[in-house]
Amino acid sequence: MNFILNTPSNYDVNCHTHRLLEKSNSLFFHKSLKEYNCPDLITLTHLSNSIGVGNIFIKDESHRFGLNAFKVLGASYAISRLLKEQTNIKTVCTATDGNHGKAVAWIANKYNIECIVYVPHNTSKERITAISKFGASVHQINDNYENTCIHARYMCSLNNWTLVQDTSFEDYEYIPSLIMSGYLTHMHEIKNQIKLMNKSIDIVFLQCGVGSWPASCIWFFRNMFNENTPKIVLVEPRESAGVFESLENGSRVSPNGLNQTIMAGLNCGIPSKNAWEIIKSGVDAVIKINDLSCEIAIRTLYNPIESDKKIIAGESGAAGLAGLLSVLNYDKFKILRNHLKLDKNSNVLLFNTEGATDLKSFNRIIKKDPNYN
């Protein structure tokens, strides 16, 4: 089975994460930074017509703060809050598959504090270099992402460093919740952009790793859109589908896949604890996609139809579109299409969460297209 349906219910609004999200002033904070910019919400009119939906809106985060990914929204907000609460922080540490580590390194450099970053064995040299250029000390571990997180946690306890991780576990939920609160900035931007367009959103496809970012989006839609809440679909790599398998199991589990996918930012382990609580009661469906569908989505965005805008999307960045195209193109998703009421009138929101963060991989994918030049 490549998809799993879910019936959203009301999650515990009294939980600590909910209260932090509710009190978030992330948009105000990010606007105070000189690097702040509001990436466009792009309408892909001709692609929409081609595949048979009403409108495709895509938030292009490849231009966020010049860092080529959205992750800086969470890390910058969380660390700024921590430094106000704990003025003696000298070193921050995290585990990452790329974009989160770069974000932590960027804001640590801005605040002139030391940054230690651990990356799993399959992290590309280009992503490691991108983190290092902001002054972080990067250490590659001969293990997967989930165990790299465990290693970073251990090193923090050993050295009295501050762990700034975007996944939560037992007794470690406050900082991941702050990171989720930071992600709300682009949700507020989207709500304003959609209002200016005088449009609505019917269905959202969100790529999913440990789940912190899609959980923050789900929370926003459920709490800020009220009766206009769209249907929400999470998209995971087939070989690293932690949320999918957790929904099947009824509780959080580490995925049983091979952890081999070009979607490095989604190649994660067990879902984040506080994100899981929101996801399991707020998502409408979860689907699994393969790498080939992701490559097709990257080329689709790179080679726009007629006057549609060209979008440079990395492997994780294109996963939302890959999910949409898969659901539309294959008969095995017919039940899901009906569940979502996905048809020619549907307005679909997607996110390009990263640009070409690994140029070698990106160019390999693009050169498979006959229109590449």
The residue type found at 297 is A
DSSP 8-state assignment for residue 169:
B
E strands along the chain, which residues? 3-5, 41-43, 55-60, 91-95, 114-119, 137-140, 162-163, 203-207, 231-237, 285-289, 347-352
Structure tokens, 269: 């382990």
Dist CA 293 CA 318 (whole Å): 9
- Of 60, 97, 308, 358, catalytic: 97
* Active-site annotation holder among 59, 71, 102, 231: 71
Q: Where are the alpha helices (DSSP H) in 255-318?
A: 273-282, 291-302
Is 71 part of the annotated catalytic residue set? yes
Q: How far is CA 370 from the centre of its chain?
A: 30
**Is 97 annotated as catalytic?**
yes
- Give me Rg for the CA atoms of the chain: 19
Rounded CA-CA distance 100/333 in Å is: 32
Q: Looking up tokens 């006057």, which residue turns up? A: 307
Identify the CA nearest to 275 among candidates 243, 229, 323: 243
- In this structure, the chain runs to a length of 373
Residue 289, phi-psi category: left (phi > 0), alpha (psi -120 to 50), beta (remainder): beta
What count of other Cβ atoms lies within 10 Å of the Cβ of residue 110?
14
Residues marked active site are found at: 71, 97
